[in-house]
Structure 1
Amino acid sequence: MQSASSSEKVTLLLVVTGATLICGLPLLLLFKTGLTDTTGLNVGPLLEALQNRSVKRALWHSIESSFLSALAATVLGTILALLIGLTNIRAKGLLVFLILLPMMIPPHVTAIAWIQALGPASPVLRWLGLAPELGSTHPLYSREGLVLLLTLQHSPLVFLLTRAALRSFPRELSDAARISGAGAFTMLRRITLPLLGPALLAGFALAFVAALGNFGINALIGIPARYTTLPVLVWRRLASFGPDILPNVAVISVILAFVAFTAILLQSLLQRRMRASLIGLPQDPLAISLGRKRPYIEALIWLLVASVLLLPAASLLATSLVRTYGLPLSLDTLTLENFVEVLWRQTVTLRAFANSTFVAAAAAVLIAGTSLLLGYFLSHRHRAHRRWAEFALTQTEIAFAVPGLVMSIAFILAFIRPLPLVNVSLYGSLWIILLAYLSVFLAVGLKPVAAAFLQMDGSLEDAAKVSGAGFFRRITRVFAPLTAPSAASGAILVFLTAYNEVTVSALLWSTGNETIGTTIFNYEDGGYTTLAAAMSAVVVAATVLIMLAMNVLAKRVPAGTIPWKD
């Protein structure tokens, strides 16, 4: 077997070193700050923090709200996936698009929209005469309200995983059950749900970790409800700027990271016990006929989708079209001044749109390129190459699994001092946000590319080598075209996620380096509700237009390029 070329080794070294610098090193510094002192390992600050009243309360609130919302999201997402994936419901493509849409909307925008939709000052509810009395407590400012919004935000994640698992089932399973006389509910109880066990567990864990690190909903709902979670506690303490603030928030971040790691570890252990091997090629699952019940079930699904999307969207738009929050929407109060303000007059919003577009696009392109190289080495025939690539992969998955606010603290610790040799500080610049995006979202872009490489025949590379193609020519002429759809799919997801996020950038932004997410949050937090609504409406419209444009291109690009299309 021919040894790997020097260009391969150098490329592998650069990829692994880069992943370690942006994923492993910041987290290592975080744990070093939180768990050590000048004498070595010291868990005293950690134990002291766990005894702190506010930390204990925030920890319990984080676990409680994450568990309840993940459980509800798993139930809701699974029911929708089963109905759309296994029955003869009509307009499935449109339903899938609408169900996944909330996942692409930033959590803080979701929170703002629902606050304006259900509050006493809601323009829509006041117009309908259904608004709560002025001065009454907002119905969402409670633990239940927080759990509800987290459920709506993360149930599309479970839906996506469950639907993908259903599509991987061999058709023979359904056929054999029906031939044996099993009804729809018997087949669901005895075959489908047991085989879905690992996917449901993965969906629950993903929803739990996502809720654990969610900042926008936890802040905008939890703070008024006096239901503080760990991400909000970290944000509040970092804003106090005390002399020992970084070590203090590092300890709390370590606690948050431990909870996330524990959830992922339990998921991995349970999945191994629940794993079942399937024989046969995946095919379209059997379409169960709903008979006369189909119109009623379709009506319920469309009612759910409409209530999740239309009510908050209408309230958001209505709030953005009035001069002052709380005014009823009418011809006398109708104005476009808020849109004019955020799109033309406010330099901070224009700068935020430019900054977010740049860092999201740059992160998507760089992650696509890095994923191509790392995916190649993950399927390499040399065991040493695979092990080093797997080492980099593990670091990217940990960086993705850790709550975004924890990674923000880790990056502050890593880059608050000037870089050695060049003596340039990245802290307080747009570049630190870009590096944080690369770290957090690399796993998102890598997964589809790595899966594409694992499906390739090794004879492709052998043929290229026999033809005299070197390493870089093989990458650009053979593997890049074959993995382009997967790389594009990952890049689209990275762009949409990074473009609207607030959790990672909440602690890394500075004046002149605002992002869309931080600007909207600051508007709402500062009491400029109509401006926050106007900017949120623009962001939602931009997200929908991007997704619709991707749908239009679906027929002109290879299958698998558009993440939410079959």
Structure 2
Amino acid sequence: MKPKDQNYSKSRRLKNQIKAVVTNPYNLIVLIAIVLLTYLIVLPLLDMISTSFTLAQKDARLAGGTAGSFTLYYWQRLLGSALTKQMLLQPLFNSLLIGVCVSFFAILIGSVLAWLMVRTDLPFKPFFSLAVIIPYMIPSWCKSQAWLTMFKTERIGGSPGFLMSLGINVPDWLAYGPVAIITVLSLHYYAYAYLLVSAALNSINSELEEMGEIQGAGKATILRKITFPLVLPAMLSAVILTFSKAIGTFGVINYLGSKVNFVTLSSQLYMNSKSQNTQTAFAMALIMICIASISVVVNQKLIGSRKSYATIGGKGGRSTPIRLGKHKLLITAVLFLFFVFGIIMPIALLILESFMLRQGDYSLSNLTLHYWIGDPIATVMEGQPGIFKNANFINSLINSLKLTFVNGVFGTIFGQIIGYICAKGRGKLHGKVVEQLVFIPYLIPSIAFGGIFLSMFSTPQQLFGVTLVPSLYGTFALLTITSVVKHLPFASRAGTSNMLQIGGELEEAAEIAGAGFFKRFIRIVFPLSKGGFISGFMLIFVSIMKELDLIILLMTPKTSTLPYLAFQYQNSNSPQASDCVAIVMFSIVFLVYALANIFGDADLAKSMGG
């Protein structure tokens, strides 16, 4: 072949390769995903960093600079001033205390429950399997309300709680402060550990444990030498998830810590955001992101390059329950007591308080339906009617239902698409890029994340003088975008877990038969992922329905949701009305989950696995 012909052949081959890449729908989807994730995740993060080094107009005179110029003023104020201990060190210590303690107790409780439910012959499993995930459906701040109803003291809370009304003297340290916060958050976040560890245990072939038993190993040895090492990656993932959420939580800190001046980084961040100290708030948020990032790096070092525990024993292996023997009755009784006092009683207390006209009075004459269906009384609830006659409640209910369903649908669709990219691109550059980009929102505290999007979309987004996105402040669209992006890490995890269960040979066979990409996706991928789609929808639905921290800075009277309305009632000294709203919210979540479980085989544990 002549050199001229060889050059033409290479040029034509290169042109065909470029054409194949450009016209491949999968590559187009990957490109769009990377562009959107960069715009909605990377740019806001960079804006947060930039803002923390930009001098605000109100601080220009004090800092001795010009507004909009580069400055280290806010970092110096946080890290090296007389206010450092009050603004940073004490809140940081409190945050780390809460994060470490909650992680330890939540992982301990969740892992033990997961092992009992998945690997043993524990009786009443249908009841326990439902009871064990109820804490995931109840917002942590609702548990705080129940805690106050039980332990509140007259010395700090004003009116007595249930125990005080019985003549039991409750110490203040039990009612408020770190002990109360750690207990409430541990009883809330153990559900995350349970979902992750149970998903890992379900993937382990019980023959591994049986072989150890045949060799004469006892139950404790099998648990320590075989089961524990296999689920360790899942437990470490649960530690990171719990730790990050615990140090970033705000609602529980506000309910149980504010009256005794127990502050954390999240509560300081909220106060600075509400006081328009955006630069200081963002600097604190960056410190929290660094802490979360360090915990993730440590986690990766501990588990090495192992990113998934779904391949531990292979799916389809048989599972033989371990006999609890003579301890079965005792363990079952302990579990019943745990669920009665840890789950059923808090809900019962919220229901009871919602029917009490005056706090602290548990007599029958004090029971009323006023906070549910009552007409306005000037001296009660600031003259507002019961929630079912209250326009604010109806507006918040409609907003919450719209937000959860819209975000559930769009978040799940995006999560499945990103999960498809991550699953098909495992080990490839584009798969790693998408996986890392979608993980970033997980590291950003919810309050800070809401603040970033509020700052970003409060003014029109322009490019070369052309308005691409109008101002979204006070709109439903802003709530939707913020909620979808923040929950993408969970949605994509559910999507990846779902897509990894679909064999690639099915698509390859369809491609050989002449089916295009979109036809393969609609006819093969989507039908096979329907069960995972419903589980992913429920994961997002439950998370957003109870969300308070993320949207608290975005709220306006027009866009108020049920969690924010309950928060307002609690802060305006109407805890009974707040209880009513919380009960309605939990009832909606429980009903939707029950329907999805019955008709759609929804499984939160499957959607949390990865």
State the TM-score, normalizing by the size of structure 2: 0.84
Q: Please tell me whether residue 453 in structure 1 is matched to residue 482 in structure 2.
A: no
1:544 and 2:590 aligned: yes
1:111 maps to 144
| Structure 1 partner of 2:458 | 416
**Structure 1 counterpart SS, 2:221:** helix
Counterpart residue number, 1:198: 233
% identical equivalent positions: 22
2:357–2:370 contact (8 Å) kept in structure 1: yes
Partner of 1:307: 341
Deviations 1:413-437 (A, max 9, x none): 3212222233721122222111111
1:323–1:298 CA distance, 2 compared to 1 (3 A): same
Alpha-carbon distance change, 9 to 181 in structure 1, aligned in 2, over 3 angstroms? closer
- Residue 527 (structure 1) shift: 0.9
- CA deviations over 1:274-297 (Å, ceiling 9, x no partner): 999845556354422222221111
Question: What is the one-letter code of the residue matched to 2:37?
Answer: A
Residue 158, structure 1, aligned to residue 190, structure 2: no
> Which residues in structure 2 correspond to 1:55-70 (within 5 Å)?
55-70=88-103
- Check if 1:403 corresponds to 2:445: yes
Question: Mind listing any 5+ residue stretches in structure 2 that lack a counterpart?
Answer: 1-16, 56-66, 154-158, 374-384
3-state SS of 1:160 partner: helix
Q: How many residues align?
A: 554
> For structure 1, which segment, 44-53 or 183-192, has the greater mean C-alpha deviation from structure 2 after superposition?
44-53
The structure showing larger relative contact order (alpha-carbon pairs under 8 Å, at least 6 residues apart) is 1
| CA 1:83–1:279: 2 relative to 1, 3 Å | closer
Residues 485 and 560, structure 1, Cα contact 8 Å, conserved in 2: no
Task: Mark the CA change 1:220 to 1:500 in structure 2 (over 3 Å): closer, same or farther.
Answer: same
Change (3 A) 1:376 1:191: closer
Does 1:333 pair with 2:366? yes
**Which residue, out of 202, 215, 238, partners 1:180?**
215
Task: Give the match for residue 301 of structure 2.
Answer: 269
1:220 aligns with 2:262: no
- Structure 1 residues 403 and 93, CA gap change in structure 2 (3 angstroms): farther
| TM-superposition CA deviations, 1:66-114 (whole Å, max 9, x none) | 1111111111112222222222210112212111111111111111121
Bigger Rg, which one: 2
**1:84 and 2:84 correspond:** no
Alignment partner of 1:142 is 2:177: yes
- Give, in whole Å, the separation in 2 of the partners of 1:174 and 1:47: 56
- Aligned position for 2:20: 3
Q: TM-score, normalised by structure 1?
A: 0.90
SS for the counterpart of 1:324 is coil
CA deviation vs aligned residue, 1:383-416 (integer Å, no higher than 9, x gap): 8xx5334323322211023221121122123212
Instruction: Tell which deviates more after alignment, 517-526 or 446-455.
Output: 446-455
Change (3 A) 1:322 1:270: same
* Match status 1:511 vs 2:553: no
- Counterpart for residue 49 of structure 1: 78
- CA–CA distance in structure 2, aligned partners of residues 545 and 456 of structure 1: 30
CA distance in 2, matches of 1:78, 1:123: 32
> What is the letter of the counterpart of residue 269 of structure 2?
V
2:418 to 374, 384, 387: 374
Question: How far apart, in 2, do the equivalents of 1:329 and 1:542 lie?
Answer: 30
Partner of 2:377: none
Partner of 2:7: none
Counterpart residue type for residue 422 of structure 2: L
Q: Which moved more, 1:44-53 or 1:211-220?
A: 44-53
**Hey, what's the Cα distance between the residues in 2 that align with 1:41 and 1:285?**
61
Q: Quick one: structure 1 residues 99 and 41, their matched pair in 2 at CA, closer, same or farther if it must change by over 3 Å?
A: farther
Secondary structure of 1:207's counterpart equals helix
**Unmatched 5+ stretches in structure 1:** none
Mapped to 2, the partners of 1:399 and 1:311 lie a distance apart of 35
1:298–1:457 distance in 2 versus 1, CA, 3 Å: closer
**1:205-256 CA distances to partner (integer Å, 9 max, x unpaired)?**
1111110111111111111121101111111122223xxx111211111111
Structure 1 distance, partners of 2:579, 2:425, is 53
Select 1:234's aligned residue among 251, 254, 269. 269
Counterparts in 2 of 1:564 and 1:213: CA distance versus 1, 3 Å: closer
Which of the residues 272, 282, 299 maps onto 1:250? 282
